[in-house]
Amino acid sequence: MLVLVAPGQGAQTPGFLTPWLELPGAAARVAAWSDAIGLDLAHYGTQADADAIRDTAVAQPLLVAAGLLSASALGIDAAARRASAEGGGGRREEQAAPGAVAGHSVGEITAAAFAGVLDDTTALTLVRRRGLAMAEAAAITETGMSALLGGDPEVTVPHLEKLGLTPANVNGAGQIVAAGTLEELAALAEDKPEGVRRVVPLKVAGAFHTRHMAPAVAKLEEAAAELAPADPAVTYVSNKDGKTVATGAEVLSRLVGQVANPVRWDLCMETFQELGVTALIEVCPGGTLTGIAKRALPGVKTLALKTPDDLDAARDLIAATAEAAAEATA
């Protein structure tokens, strides 16, 4: 089974969208999305510097747009999946992929679009409001996030709590992301938990998935109340607890709450294993989640979409996964 995943904030780099806009129809599609949300996605994805795309209000819609664009280049879109779920036709890639979807943090909105819970424009409109709300919340207090590499969670988590920090992302494969005030993060850098090899500050502008984001939750509740989500057309795995979610209303509720609650990517990967994952593709800007999967999901084939040059290999992996599934059920 193939799992399609979408990365979270911090995966963006200057100019990463440039080669994707050269694909047929891509520039027009991104221009339409930009008009819909009032943000020049093409500019930020091609010309803006690292500081500009670090802005939460910019980074989040940019990441969702990149994920949707790269998935579409594989022939994966919500309309095709819903048609397939309802007995309609589609290209081989659309029918074979994915068996399940998930996203890390803001990538959950990308995944909701993959599953057909939200259409692309609605997903981008929601993430634009999410990014603005979280940027406003982050401006109240100077906060940030740092990744801890190595160590035992049973030792690391109590150490973080002692320093006043939150284990905001429990990613598995020996990685936990701590979030809190800059003073608390400075104390962590000077006093690492036992067994932790490195503490790496992340390119984000706030302590996401912590109590510091509580002001953003109310604004997202207002935004969500205006939407009419569909039920997932494929299996949707949630960051909250790694559980699969069967209704669009529950997916949307979890999208709202997750901005102030920890990401449990470790539990998502456990669910992938339970579902029988054999291959994992991470949409643009891929790399982070495939890196974790290589350590946590031995034997699972992984592929990160970084540029359009990766599309042929992704199509081959999709085809091979479908072929293996067909042989297993023959």
Point out the residues that are catalytic.
105, 209
Phi and psi at residue 281, to the nearest 5°: -115, 130
36 vs 28: CA distance, rounded Å: 12
Q: Which residues pair with 177 in a beta bridge?
A: 147, 169
3-state SS class at 175: strand
Instruction: Starting at the earlier edge strand, list the strands of the sheet with 301-304.
Output: 244-245, 235-237, 100-103, 2-6, 279-282, 301-304
Strands 100-103 and 2-6: parallel
End-to-end CA distance of the chain: 15
**What six digits make up the tokens of 99?**
């068996």
- Provide CB contacts within 8 A for 95, sequence distance 6+: 84, 322
- Provide CB contacts within 8 A for 50, sequence distance 6+: 13, 14, 203
DSSP E strand stretches across the chain: 2-6, 100-103, 143-150, 166-172, 175-181, 196-201, 235-237, 244-245, 279-282, 301-304
20 vs 33: CA distance, rounded Å: 15
Which of these, 194, 189, 188, 148, lies nearest to 172 by C-alpha position?
148
314 vs 305: CA distance, rounded Å: 8
237 vs 245: CA distance, rounded Å: 6
14 vs 152: CA distance, rounded Å: 34
